[in-house]
Amino acid sequence: MLRLSALIVPLVAFLTVVVHVQAQEILCPQHKHLEGEVQKCKSLLPDLSGKKDKLAAVSIRYGLRCAREVDPDISIPDIRERRCKTDDPQDFPRKFYQCWNRLLDTDELLTRVGFSGEDLEKFRSAAKCVNNVIEKTLDEQ
């Protein structure tokens, strides 16, 4: 019983994180006008059949890694707020998206969830496209 409860606590905590992070929208309120450009980026995506759950987990992992790289003490609920903040003293939004792009190029996690060859390149291109669209608006603010 003790062993089971030791497993349940981290699992419940993880699921709470997953639900919270997945519920967040990609675009911040001030970037809603970019929806058309983001949809163009998403059209570059390969077929995601059978990979959506794993891809959601990768996205969560990258988001947490990048958020904590910029601010090691950030809480999970604060990630979206900081990502959407236009006057962040640490330049959190820009560093967050730059980290994402770097991970897309260097991390092996995408290959472990089933991306390879052309599909891997298509996914990387689509994700970088979205990040670059958003990052471009940071220069305009």
The pLDDT confidence band at residue 102, using thresholds 50, 70 and 90, is very high
- Number of folded domains that form the chain: 1
**Residue 93 pLDDT more than 50?**
yes
Contact 74, 83 (CB under 8 A): no
* CB burial readout 70-94, b (16+ within 10 A) else e: bbeebebeebbebbbbeebeeebbe
Single pTM value for the model: 0.74
**Residue 69 pLDDT more than 90?**
yes
**Residue 26 pLDDT more than 90?**
no
Range of the domain at 68: 2-140
**Residue 61 pLDDT more than 90?**
yes
C-alpha dihedral sign at 102, 34, 83, 56:
negative
